[in-house]
């Protein structure tokens, strides 16, 4: 695996323009609160413009540091599926010894990372660096970036600089791409390879935009292409390739799918326990028994995604499926302290006697998040979304405060800190709860981290 060293708190990635030739860089920078940026000359290609990059001047698409008088340091680079699973010809099938060696390497890598069990799932516009760092502060042991569009990532410097930032504390890290072209995927992956522990292929996005773009879960209709994507990365990267998938309606198809990915070179598999058509996670429970069946059918590490709302769910999922770790998404957006044992009031009903006010609430978490955004700038649209997620229940009590937020075409940190103060002055407080006795320890660790 390539080595990478830097001391700048955040790195916003772009590399010098190059074809598919391998680029290896080592960067060491002085300590800085701003993201280090490596510039490049980009090749003009016609491309789909992702949200926030259409150049229309929307204030929510500006970085939250734009307009502030900060000095940036420049540094030089040092619905029902009928899958067809193809069998390999003997000349292209990995030998048993090679397959065994690959599986051993997959486990050795996972072990070197400390075998993380509590993982932030990939969320478009939501699992960005400041949010990942907040979740790590409260127990998360690894994290995924938001899904990145591989072609736009290779073509557009602005997209790279805004959508992918990291720092030395942001590890272990999965960088996730959607793709339908193996060569473009490899070019994008090589740009992030020095800064992550896995390059992940999104094979699970069920949204309409994925159908239109022919990526995510809609590649389940084209398994030879899926296989070629995995093989391209596995044969050409030094970091392992991981995949995040959904279930087929038929369990055996899912098992065959997982085995195909493993044979193609996948070193870690994250399984969302719902099918492509099961999009409503609040109404449809994830199928842990199917995740267990996948776990039992492959030899590489497996992660489970779905139904992780609090730590009791974490323990139950690990016990029922036997997986190496769990991913949480929507529940973390509302409660980034989930992995530290904190839970929202709705998950305390029935256990009030064993739960207590943890002296922490979502407004406290939002303030911590905003401070991280000042340190690691991200587009305002991401910050706005997190404010709504963390304070959603508070806004139901004082909807006029939410209306004032929505009326702001341009956000500032001063306004957002003032919004929290206003809620408190109005007497709004919805505590988080804990069932164990580690509240003081967790809070002390968080306070130390926020003051460092």
Query: Residue 140, Cβ neighbours under 10 Å: how many?
Result: 24
Q: What is the pLDDT of residues 395-412, one digit of tens each?
A: 999 999 999 999 999 999
Q: Which two tokens stand for residue 143?
A: 């994290």
Q: How far apart are CA 11 and CA 105, in angstroms?
A: 28
Q: Of 363, 360, 336, 334, nearest to 425 (Cα)? A: 363
Catalytic residue among 64, 205, 243, 266: 205
Q: Which residues of the chain carry a pLDDT beneath 70?
A: 1-59, 65-95, 281, 347-355, 358, 436-452
Q: What is the dihedral of CA 167, 170, 174, 176, to 10 degrees?
A: -50
Q: Say what the pLDDT of residue 355 is.
A: 64
Residue-level pLDDT at 367: 98
260, 87 contact by CB (below 8 A) = no
pLDDT one-digit tens code per residue, 180-218: 999 999 999 999 999 999 999 999 999 999 999 999 999
Rounded Cα distance between 158 and 142, Å, is: 26
Question: Is 243 a catalytic site residue?
Answer: no
Measure Cα distances from 358 to 313, 331, 341, 400, 437 in Å.
19, 18, 10, 28, 9
Neighbours of 280 (CB within 10 A): 7
Can you give the pLDDT at residue 98? 75
Taking Cα atoms as reference points, which of 250, 247, 297, 252 lies closest to residue 272? 247
Residue 435: predicted pLDDT:
80
Question: Which domains are seen in the chain, by residue range?
Answer: 98-340 (3.20.20.70), 344-451 (no CATH)
pTM of the model: 0.81
């Amino acid at each position: 695996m390539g080595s990478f060293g830097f001391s700048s708190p955040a790195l916003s990635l772009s590399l010098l323009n190059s074809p598919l030739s391998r680029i290896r860089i080592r960067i060491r920078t002085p300590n800085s609160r701003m993201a280090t940026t490596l510039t490049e000359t980009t090749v003009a290609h016609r491309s789909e413009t992702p949200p926030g990059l259409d150049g229309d001047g929307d204030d929510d698409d500006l970085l939250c540091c734009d307009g502030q008088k900060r000095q940036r340091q420049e540094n030089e680079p040092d619905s029902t599926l009928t899958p067809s699973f193809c069998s390999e010809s003997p000349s292209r099938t990995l030998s048993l010894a090679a397959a065994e060696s690959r599986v051993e390497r997959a486990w050795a890598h996972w072990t070197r990372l400390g075998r993380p069990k509590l993982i932030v799932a990939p969320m478009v516009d939501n699992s960005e660096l400041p949010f990942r760092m907040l979740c790590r502060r409260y127990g998360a042991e690894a994290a995924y970036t938001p899904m990145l569009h591989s072609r736009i990532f290779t073509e557009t410097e602005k997209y790279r600089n805004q959508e992918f930032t990291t720092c030395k504390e942001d590890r272990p890290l999965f960088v996730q791409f959607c793709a339908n072209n193996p060569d473009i995927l490899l070019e994008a992956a090589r740009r992030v390879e020095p800064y992550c522990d896995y390059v992940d292929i999104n094979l699970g996005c069920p949204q309409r935009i994925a159908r239109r773009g022919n990526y995510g879960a809609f590649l389940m209709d084209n398994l030879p292409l899926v296989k070629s994507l995995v093989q391209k990365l596995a044969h050409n990267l030094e970091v392992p390739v991981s995949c995040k998938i959904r279930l087929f309606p038929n369990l055996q198809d899912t098992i065959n799918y997982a085995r195909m990915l493993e044979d193609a070179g996948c070193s870690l598999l994250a399984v969302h326990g719902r099918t492509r058509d099961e999009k409503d996670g609040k109404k449809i429970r994830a199928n842990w028994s199917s995740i267990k069946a996948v776990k039992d059918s492959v030899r590489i590490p497996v992660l489970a995604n779905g139904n992780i709302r609090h730590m009791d769910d974490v323990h139950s999922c690990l016990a029922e499926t036997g997986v190496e770790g769990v991913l949480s998404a929507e529940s973390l957006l509302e409660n980034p302290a989930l992995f530290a044992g904190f839970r929202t009031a709705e998950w305390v009903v029935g256990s009030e006697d064993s739960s207590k006010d943890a002296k922490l609430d979502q407004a406290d978490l939002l303030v911590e998040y905003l401070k991280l955004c000042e340190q690691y700038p991200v587009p305002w649209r991401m910050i706005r979304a997190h404010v709504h997620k963390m304070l959603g229940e508070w806004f139901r009590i004082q909807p006029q405060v939410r209306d004032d937020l929505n009326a702001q075409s341009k956000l500032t940190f001063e306004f957002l800190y003032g919004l929290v103060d206003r809620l408190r002055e109005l007497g709004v407080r919805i505590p988080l709860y804990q069932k164990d006795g580690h509240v003081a320890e967790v809070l002390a660790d968080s306070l130390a981290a926020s003051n460092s």
